[in-house]
Amino acid sequence: MTPFDTALRVQRREVDSVKVSISETITTITTITHQTNAHDLRMREERALAATAPVASDAWRLRMKAERARLDHQAQLANMRLTHLRAQAVEAYGTMRAIEGAADRFKDEAERVAAGAEQAQIDDIAAAKFIRARRDAERNA
């Protein structure tokens, strides 16, 4: 456990949230693209029919142009949102990696301090045994 664990969990949630938003936006863009393709196909079919049977279609044509403009505007907004979300994902991921690095450094430092303390304890025990052995040798001599 490090003091960075809470911040890391929060940042991971942020990264996951941005991933979900990107996925939803891509789904939206795909839907708009399908709608645009269907709209274009319908317009071509209707134009072909209008060529065979002359019918006043000015109102229909204006409505279809307005619909196409709406779809284009939605696609533009969705693409702008996707660009923004991708930049946000890069930033969130970078922050997460920085926190992970800080947590790793904290763990490494804690392990180094613990290893140093353990080595000092071993050295103290060895020194105490040496001194005892030396005293025993002096008493026996």
| Overall average pLDDT of the 127-139 stretch | 87
The structure tokens 């003091």 sit at 3
Which pTM was predicted? 0.73
Tally of domains in the chain: 1
Q: Is 133 within a domain?
A: no
Q: Quick check: is 40 in a domain?
A: yes
**pLDDT value at position 14?**
95
Evaluate whether residue 113 is within a structural domain. Answer: no
**pLDDT confidence of 56, banded at 50, 70, 90?**
low
Residue 75's domain comprises 5-107
3-state secondary structure string, 60-105? HHHHHHHHHHHHHHHHHHHHHHHHHHHHHHHHHHHHHHHHHHHHHH
